[in-house]
Amino acid sequence: MEQVKKITVYIMGKAYKVPADQTIMGALEYAGYQLVRGVGCREGFCGSCATIYRKPGDYKFHMAPACSTLVEDQMYLSQIPFVPTDKPVYNIEKLEPDYTAFEKVFPETFRCVACNTCTKACPQDLEVMDYIQAIIKNNISECADLSFDCIACGLCAIRCPAEMVQHNIGLLSRRLYGKYLNPRGKNLKNRLQEIKEGKYEQEIRQMMTMDKDNLVKTYHGRDIEPDYRDVGAD
């Protein structure tokens, strides 16, 4: 039986031997740590497992999602209990889809000094500074587009000298875009009315009683709607 190669990592200063092919999260659990906080999808999408680590001979702290970063020999690991974040309560119905929304909800947005540390910290390689600057230039659509793949891990906020919460700022831009700026398909209003009137209730109840094989067959046999870009907008 082939032996699994093991390396040494340090967790909270204590040395552990762990398999070399483990992620940081896997190494923590292999070492006996029960993770009940800072764990979500385990697939690199939810952003809840932000972690910091150091490597031998490197003075820098590195940051990454623990579930999608492989361990290295002599790596020093430490979980972050939480990341600094500001979650103000706002009513999107009372906000305009322009920079004034951010003046009200996230005024710190306009303290951005364009240092680009947020972009360097992003595990998704997003142009974080650029989408913040887009808001300052009153381009909400560009911010929504550039921040679309954000997983809200908050690592950008940890590095920000202006104490911004870029991930939540980007989220507001996407909400504003979806509410006010995104073109509506021609049939959207009619379809929403049909749903409200219960037109599809019988089909939904029928699908809820199907077994997996019939659900798969129904899914693959459905009528495919045309691409939204070909439908047009009001």
Mean pLDDT of 45-64: 85
DSSP code, position 108: G
Neighbours of 135 (CB within 10 A): 26
97 confidence band (pLDDT: 50, 70, 90)? very high
pLDDT at site 229: 45
Judged against a pLDDT cut of 70, whether residue 57 lies above it is answered with yes
pLDDT at site 227: 54
Residue 86 · residue 154 · CB < 8 Å: no
Mean pLDDT of 135-163: 94
135 confidence band (pLDDT: 50, 70, 90)? very high
226 confidence band (pLDDT: 50, 70, 90)? low
30/24 Cα distance (integer angstroms)? 10
Judged against a pLDDT cut of 80, whether residue 81 lies above it is answered with no
pLDDT at site 62: 87
Whole-prediction pTM: 0.70
DSSP code, position 218: H
**Chain position carrying tokens 């322009």:** 98
Mean pLDDT of 135-152: 96
pLDDT at site 228: 46
Coil, helix or strand at residue 207: helix
**Residue 129, exposed/middle/buried by CB under 10 A (0-12, 13-18, 19+)?**
buried
**Residue 56, exposed/middle/buried by CB under 10 A (0-12, 13-18, 19+)?**
exposed
The whole-chain average pLDDT of the chain stands at 89
Mean pLDDT of 199-212: 92
Mean pLDDT of 19-45: 86
Task: Please name each of the domains of the chain with its CATH number.
Answer: 6-79 (3.10.20.740), 83-214 (1.10.1060)
Coil, helix or strand at residue 178: helix
